[in-house]
Amino acid sequence: MTGVVRVMVVDDHTLFRRGLTALLAADPRFEVVAEAGDAGQAQRLAAAVQPDIILLDNHLPGVTGVDALPGLQEAAPQARVLMLTVSEDERDLAAALRHGARGYLLKTVDSDMLASAIMRTLHGESVVSPEMTGKLLDAFRSLQPGAPPTAAAAATAEPDPIDELSPREQQILSHIELGASNKEIARALDIAETTVKIHVQHILRKLGLSSRVQAAVFAAGRRAR
């Protein structure tokens, strides 16, 4: 994608919303095309302006940001929603991912990380604040139907899918677990970014996963055994 990234900011705190808008306006990569203070206004504006990225707070009056996600996605199907909230509750994280959010950031994020997260989200990556990485496993479990497998079931389970990954893919998976972007992985391993992208696609396919967030959770869960 080329050109300026069109952003909509949804937050009920006027001072925070305006400060965030001013911060983004100072970066030539971004244009704030709309601001909203509640879910209803956000849905109307999203339909009107069709933003590329929606920065969405969860604690909105009336309808929470998580509950507003389906309506926003219907109003602006091409927009990617990035949660920007104070909540460190893994239940909120799980609900946001379940309802289609492409990322989950805490409001303590610094400006450089926010800008990077917006660009990564725009290009299809899933971004979660480092402070929430340890809670990804609980969030992922809450997304799965049924109870965790029993010890007996685990004993008869199929071979560990990690064995399907090549040594390079396992190496890249370890970087994904740490929240590294494709560019950061490429730099660390001294390989092309396009090569990393292909490896990531293979990792997701082999593990039966659909996103980098799930891959990070898988890796964290396996390491915690």
CB under 8 Å, gap of 24 or more: what pairs does 150-155 form? none
Q: Residue 119 phi/psi, 5° resolution?
A: -65, -40
Of residues 149 and 12, the one with the higher pLDDT is 12
List, by residue range, all CATH 3.40.50.2300 domains of the chain: 5-139
Cα–Cα dist 182/139, whole Å: 23
Say which CATH topology domain 5-139 has: Rossmann fold (3.40.50)
Per-residue pLDDT reduced to its tens digit, 27-55? 999 999 999 999 999 999 999 999 999 99
pLDDT for residue 2: 56
- Encoded tokens for 115: 């800008």
Per-residue pLDDT reduced to its tens digit, 189-217? 999 888 898 888 888 888 887 778 778 77
Of residues 125 and 145, the one with the higher pLDDT is 125
The yes or no reply on domain 147-223 and CATH 1.10.10.10 is yes
Residues 135, 141, 142, 143, CA torsion sign: positive
Q: Could you tell me the CA-to-CA distances from 104 to 67, 76, 128, 223 in Å, in that order?
A: 15, 19, 5, 23
Number of other CB atoms surrounding residue 59 within 10 Å: 14
Q: What is the mean pLDDT of the chain?
A: 84
- Encoded tokens for 177: 């677990």
What pTM was computed for the model? 0.66
pLDDT at 20 over 50: yes
pLDDT for residue 93: 85
Residues 12, 33, 179, 154, CA torsion sign: positive
Per-residue pLDDT reduced to its tens digit, 139-182? 565 555 554 444 434 444 455 677 788 888 889 998 988 888 88
